[in-house]
Amino acid sequence: MKHFITLADFSAQEIIKILDLSVRVKKEPVKYQEALKGDCIGLIFEKPSLRTKTAFYAGAFQLGAGALYYAPDEIKLGVRETIADVGRNLSRFLDAIVLRTFAHEKVVELARFSTVPVINGLSDLVHPSQILADIMTIEEIKGDIRKMKAAYIGDGDNVCHSLLEAFSILGGNLHVATPKKYQPQNDIVEAAKKRCAGSGAVICLTDSPSDAARDADVIYTDVWISMGKEKEKKHRLKTFKNFQVNSKLLSLAKKEAIVMHCLPAHRGEEITDEVIDGKQSVVFEQAENRLHTAKAILLYTSGKD
């Protein structure tokens, strides 16, 4: 049994294995349509979701499994009953649990007491399932991530953290531009930099969006105001105003650079309509690949890959 909590738990070989499986599942969906026949996947979502919920729900169905969705008020992890008891109970009914929540510790705690795989569908610390789809998309369109420069511009949030983990493990070249007070968490950065010696990765942090974007093959951004940060909106909009991905910033990147966003997008804030709807945008290809990587994660953690 394997959990899927954070990409930092995996080697480059293991991540590549899941990515290769994602590609195979996408190319030959019929081959896997009964791979999880008879299984039942539980989806506990304490945060709203469009892509993650749909990817794992549809993914389970397309692999032959059933799925149960638990809305935020149904379980109330740690409130209605302990996370340990939820893990012990659901392990008796389900074959895997996908948790989308706020505190990362909830995912870790659930995995500790679950005897079936626990999959992190997003926490405030990391978003590993998203970044698998992102790497898959980059390599489909641009090729090996070790042979290009990627720039992440915006908030040093959970998406940024998982990008740092993925690129440092796989040997990519990632330049992260954030305002000084909104840099990614220091322990995540330090762990990523330590991996660079072994993987050949290059990790650079800056507060200059133009430096990060210059000659980049990939420009990636995310919302400035994540779920749970709504009270900071006025301050964040002011702080991040120079970090918008717009035509001017994109002009600094390579001519064939692609633009990525994990969605949902706050159009007019972190990214302009012109860019997200432009010919260099791959955000919907990126979104589609959430389905294929979700299926691969379900297969990999089940041991039926």
Q: Which of 156, 263, 193 is nearest to 8 (CA)?
A: 193
Verify whether residue 195 is a known catalytic residue: no
Verify whether residue 290 is a known catalytic residue: yes
Verify whether residue 222 is a known catalytic residue: yes
Which positions ≥6 away from 285 have C-beta within 8 Å? Answer: 137, 140, 141
The pairing of beta strand 258-261 with beta strand 218-221: parallel
The structure tokens listed for 94 are: 């389900």
* Run of H or E residues at 75: helix 72-75
The structure tokens listed for 270 are: 């972190």
* 3 state SS of 218: strand
Which one of the listed residues 222, 236, 244, 261 is annotated catalytic? 222
Distances 139 to 4, 237, 289 between C-alpha atoms, Å: 22, 32, 12
Verify whether residue 261 is a known catalytic residue: no
Verify whether residue 127 is a known catalytic residue: yes
Which one of the listed residues 3, 160, 195, 262 is annotated catalytic? 262
Which one of the listed residues 127, 175, 261, 292 is annotated catalytic? 127
Beta-sheet strand order (sheet of 149-153): 202-206, 173-177, 149-153, 218-221, 258-261
Confirm if 238 and 209 have CB atoms less than 8 A apart: no
As to burial, measured by CB atoms within 10 angstroms (0-12 exposed, 13-18 middle, 19+ buried), residue 253 is buried
Verify whether residue 160 is a known catalytic residue: no
Confirm if 112 and 140 have CB atoms less than 8 A apart: no
**Rg of the chain on CA atoms, in Å:** 19
Residues belonging to the active site: 100, 127, 130, 222, 262, 290
